[in-house]
């Protein structure tokens, strides 16, 4: 179950899940598709992705 809400840049609200990322980077972030035929579908992202982009 989601435990906290975060807003980053212009992205929609993000949820931090209780699911641990396989890389060991912490709890996965839950996002939802904002367009297309899968609009609203949720998916998980590694919490370290933004740190790697910097």
* DSSP per-residue letters across 9-21: TTSPPEEEEEEEP
Residue 4 has pLDDT above 70, yes or no: no
d(CA 47, CA 22): 11
Q: Using a pLDDT cut of 90, give the percent of the chain over it.
A: 13
Residue 3 confidence class, pLDDT cut points 50, 70, 90: very low
Number of neighbouring beta carbons within 10 Å of residue 5:
9
Q: Where is average pLDDT lowest: 5-9, 25-29, 35-39, 50-54? A: 5-9
Which is more confidently placed, 5 or 49?
A: 49
Whether the pLDDT of residue 19 is over 80: the answer is yes
């Amino acid at each position: 179950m989601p435990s906290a809400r975060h807003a980053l840049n212009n992205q929609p609200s993000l949820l931090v899940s209780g699911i641990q990322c396989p890389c060991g980077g912490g709890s996965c972030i839950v996002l939802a598709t904002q367009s297309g035929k899968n609009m609203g579908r949720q998916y998980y992202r590694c919490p370290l992705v933004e740190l790697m982009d910097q």
